[in-house]
Amino acid sequence: GQNIDQPTEMTATEGAIVQINCTYQTSGFNGLFWYQQHAGEAPTFLSYNVLDGLEEKGRFSSFLSRSKGYSYLLLKELQMKDSASYLCAPRKGAGSYQLTFGKGTKLSVIP
Partner 1 sequence: DVKVTQSSRYLVKRTGEKVFLECVQDMDHENMFWYRQDPGLGLRLIYFSYDVKMKEKGDIPEGYSVSREKKERFSLILESASTNQTSMYLCASSLGLGQAHNQPQHFGDGTRLSIL
Residues of the shown chain interacting with partner 1 in the complex, contacts defined by CB under 8 A: 31, 33, 35, 41-45, 48, 50, 87, 95-104
Residue 100 burial (CB < 10 Å; 0-12/13-18/19+)?
middle
What φ, ψ does residue 26 adopt, rounded to 5°?
-135, 155
Q: Which is nearer to partner 1, 42 or 58 (CB)?
A: 42
Q: Which is nearer to partner 1, 33 or 78 (CB)?
A: 33
Q: Which is nearer to partner 1, 8 or 67 (CB)?
A: 8
User: Which residues are bridge partners to 18 per DSSP?
Assistant: 75
